[in-house]
Amino acid sequence: MNEKPELAEDSTELYEHFRFVVDKGQAQLRIDKYLFAKMENISRSRVQNSANAGNILVNGSAVKPNYKVKPLDVITIVLAHPPRDVEIYPEDIPINIVYEDQDILVVNKDAGMVVHPGHGNFNGTLQNALLFHLQKSDPSGETRPFLVHRIDKDTSGILLVAKNELAQSKLARQFFYHTIRRTYHALVWGSLKEDEGTITGNIGRDVRNRLIMSVYADEDKGREAITHYKVVERFGYVSLVECRLETGRTHQIRVHFKHIGHPLFNDESYGGNEILKGTTFTKYKQFVQNCFKLMPRQALHAKSLGFVHPSDGREMYFESEYPADLAVVIEKWRGYSLHANKDE
């Protein structure tokens, strides 16, 4: 039985999860050959890399590519997505690489940069820039960027990239089993009642607008999503929050905070680009509009990322400062809230 992938193509994590139960009459066969025959559009080398990364379990235990399947074995496989079937050309685009070795790259992505080509963005992406960077040290073009997760175009912050398929497979396993440690910081409308909490809700494509997501009570309409948050600082009409994700759904933080009535500041897709809290005073409206101009995007930043190095097992941790637009808007709200409290 081949169950549907646990994570859909549009999730922020770039892997899928499959499950098979071996037929009663199945003759013993190497598991890499078995899965190669069972799965569509997959190379045997990808299956072998998944096994070598510890991503293939039989009856709950990791196996190597030469394991012989037996009748009624339960096989699960976490499979990293291959590079997209799109021609990617190297482009000399400045990027902020904060760490690099033979297996991984860690990038502090600017807001406004798309991670990979597609949907009308066939150049100017992070992958175009990474390919140019990698070809400087490997003119053969054999070294390519392998994505393991992604963040939205207008979200800034830390992004992890593999430089080979085995590293990608090992990192995909960490994302799947939620051992990746990552935080996001967001500026949201309103003052949350609790200092910390958890938002749950199944996330799926909005039925009226396929470009955005919605939260559904029915799990058949969306996939389970869990966001933990804590308030970092309160500014009266907006709050700075830290978010920790258990799942990696498209727009997860943005749609979850919209769902609980606290859209991200200046998030046009989810209604945060309107003045949702505050007074009717003209000066206040001008203040908010000025903040919108200073940061013409949703106030979301991938603040930190921790993981185990795919080759040597080192604990790795990276943290990035707020970009200038978000930093200045936070400082303006901090100043506004101090003056508002004095006036009261």
Catalytic residues: 152
Tell me how far CA of residue 70 lies from CA of 27, 30, 73, 193, 217, in angstroms: 7, 10, 6, 55, 40
Tell me how far CA of residue 55 lies from CA of 18, 115, 174, in angstroms: 11, 25, 10
Q: Are 100 and 106 in contact (CB under 8 A)?
A: yes
Could you count the other beta carbons within 10 Å of the beta carbon of residue 281? 9
Q: How many whole angstroms from its chain centre is CA 24?
A: 39
CA count, 13 A, side-chain hemisphere, 2: 7
d(CA 218, CA 203): 10
d(CA 127, CA 124): 8
106: three-class secondary structure by DSSP: strand
Quickly tell me which residue has 């936070």 as its tokens: 330
61: three-class secondary structure by DSSP: strand
d(CA 250, CA 8): 10
136, 158, 157, 132: which is closest to 145 by C-alpha? 132
Across 99-125, b (16+ Cβ under 10 Å) vs e yields eeeebbbbbbbebebbbbbeeeeeeeb
